[in-house]
Amino acid sequence: MQMTKIALEEHVTRPQDADLPSLIARPQLRERMIDIHGRMLAEMDAAGIEMCVLSINLNGSVHTMTSTPQAIETARIRNDFLAAQVARNPARFRAFATLPLQDTDAAAAELTRCVKELGFKGVLLDGFTQIDADEAVHYLDLPRFRDFWATLAALDVPAYLHPRDPLESWSHIYDGHPWLRNSRWAFTPETATHALRLMASGLFDTYPNLTIILGHLGETLPASLWRIDHRISRMPPVGIPAQKSLSEYFRRNFYVTTSGNFYTPTLVNAMAFMGADRILFSVDHPFEHMSEAAQWFDGLDVLTAAERQKIARGNARALLKLA
């Protein structure tokens, strides 16, 4: 039976930003990314998706811009673009902001504008941020970002931690095996490690209401956190300010989505670790097809009726405070 669903990791881009070689080489992907009110909406209708939360795709991400003024200007332009798409069809679309974290004051101000003036439902963070130089990598657990997290906590909206590749200079383990990069593998350990840094930093002790969303059914963390906590308890390390186990933060402060991971045993594992209340349906449009995601979810026989309703839309409506 087809369920009415809400999807949260659904990427679009401005036509002006869709001329990157990676998209020109894949014209069908490019078309699906820019035709929001035509092709995307038709795919939503066919898949039983009542609403998508739009976010700007990683290609040309603000997080990769080493010029802070460029990042600030680009973020504002792209957020205005997303707001215009939502305004065309507010019954079907919401948005996550993109932020210039090269300047945390500017990022906090832009987040406040997006939430309070444009009605955005949170922020999508494209992993680490490069500041001033290509090799100047800054992860979001660093002290310089605490004012941004304070603003996010005060606004009480979630942050979706989205994957990106590690810098080539930081990832010699992939040398000679380029197929390991991107969403095939490298996205997963990169994002899982970033999430672990956030948990271990004490961030959630300072701001206990912070909410982080991870895609792909948790980037393997539901299957890994027991062992991580176990080894921490047996070999207490130096440099973990966190006051609780990492599993406690994950169950309290994190949600996971089904984006791009339509595999029933992985869903069952995530539910066993954190419960159905912390799982959200998503697709990962346009890199995955809404029809495939919906057909898998609608055909699941491992969920109770209550669990199915929560994951399909109930949890998202509560988290995003949808009327």
d(C-alpha 143, C-alpha 130), whole Å: 15
**Taking Cα atoms as reference points, which of 172, 303, 179, 160 lies closest to residue 219?**
160
Name the β-bridge partners of 255: 213
Region label for 182, one of left (φ > 0), alpha (ψ between -120 and 50) or beta (otherwise): left
Q: Is the peptide bond before 222 cis (omega within 30 degrees of 0)?
A: no
Sign of the Cα torsion 117, 70, 162, 283 reads: positive
Token readout for 194 is 């970033």
Under 8 Å between Cβ of 286 and 33: yes
Name the β-bridge partners of 137: 130
Most distant pair of Cα atoms in the chain: their distance: 55
Kind of pairing, strands 129-130 and 279-280?
A: unpaired
Length in residues, the chain: 323
Helix (H) or strand (E) holding 34: helix 27-34
Exposure letters 266-279 (e unless 16+ CB within 10 A, then b)? bbebbbebbebebb
Under 8 Å between Cβ of 139 and 128: yes
- For the CA atoms of 251, 52, 10, 102, the dihedral, rounded to the nearest 10 degrees, stands at -70
Catalytic residues: 284
